[in-house]
Amino acid sequence: MNKDTKIYIAGHRGMVGSAVWRTLEKKGYTNLIGRSSKELDLKNQEAVLDFYHIEKPEVVIDAAAKVGGILANNNFPYQFLMENMQIQNNLIDSALKSGIDKFIFLGSSCIYPKFAPQPLKEEYLLTDSLEPTNEWYAIAKITGVKACQAIRKQFQKDYVSLMPTNLYGTHDNFDLKSSHVLPAMIRKFHEAKNNNHSDVVLWGSGTPMREFLFVDDMAEAVVYALENKLPEYLYNIGTGEDLTIKELAETIQEVTGHQGTIVWDADKPDGTPRKLMDISKMHNLGWKHKVDLKQGIEKTYTWFLENIENFKEVKL
């Protein structure tokens, strides 16, 4: 891999894609390309193939996806299934047809069965049923993993899938209608603090356990996969440590300075009881995360405050 290797980052304006872009730039990569959704509709097969033929990238990093939390997945199951499949199928198949030898596909830990043994190992994929609240997104991502595995098996190309745990960080989505748990909590606690430290109502019981990875650490894992030919088709990316949602809420409450009461709405769903990743495969290869959770939340909250003018369209 040379510093002038032409690398296309699909989804380069999203949280993960932008972090990958920044990390590559810091490491001296000079030939990065990206297209906004207005410039290139990844759901359009012909447009994606034409783009590859014109730009001729040597590597593709697929950080493009339709993403959201439990509420969004529940309300828009068809879009989460079909749009994600369209995006990744066009990117993967067109890369194969264009002779691109290296492809990094990014997914999510939700591909694993709801009640799989903990911590989640890569070999647990497709061994049991999924979490119903986000199975549409999970099924789409599983097809992407399997497509890359099939290309790797049949055509011997370096197509690899990285499955991160719950990601958070700068450039996250703080829209309360579609965001994941950590950024949603940051916004809720911040707005409650500014509303005379009013109560914060959170979904579920607070007992499920979750693992969180700062997005810059995810970007470092992507660069590791870029610069090395990984021996297997699927790798978990995470910290190997988890905590309860209640502990997460209390940490965010401390970071934001909220002094009110946390109220748990037990009528709302908890989701999967636990999702801890087994990251021994990546650790054995030499990659490890650097940012601990509280430090990452502090970085994220700082960025949120610096960009707060962009988040006023959604009110509590």
Return binding residues for substrate: 188, 203, 210, 270
Give the Cβ contact number of residue 177 at 10 Å.
12
Q: Is 8 a catalytic residue?
A: no
Phi and psi at 55, nearest 5°, equal -85, -25
Extract the annotated binding site: 11-17, 106-109, 141, 164-167, 180, 188, 203, 210, 270
Q: Which of 269, 272, 277, 273 is nearest to 213 (CA)?
A: 277
* Preceding peptide of 119 cis, ω within 30°: yes
Q: Three-state DSSP class for 204?
A: coil
CA distance 249 to 189: 9
Kindly compute the dihedral angle of the four CA atoms of residues 121, 130, 143, 107, in this order, to the nearest 10 degrees.
-60
What does the chain come to in residues?
316
Interatomic CA distance for residues 296 and 202, integer angstroms: 21
The DSSP annotation for 29-57 comes to ---EE---TTT--TT-HHHHHHHHHHH--
Q: Which residues are annotated as a binding site for NADP(+)?
A: 11-17, 106-109, 141, 164-167, 180
CA atoms of 130 and 136, how far apart (whole Å) = 9
Report the relative pairing of strands 59-62 and 102-106 from DSSP bridges: parallel
Q: Which helix (H) or strand (E) holds 159?
A: strand 158-164
Active site residue: 8, 29, 52, 137, which one? 137
Please state whether beta strands 200-203 and 262-265 pair in parallel, antiparallel, or not at all (unpaired): parallel
CA triplet 190, 195, 200: central angle to 5 degrees? Answer: 60
Q: Cα(26)–Cα(236) distance, rounded to whole angstroms? A: 24
Rounded Cα distance, 45 and 83, in Å: 12
Residues labelled as active-site residues: 137
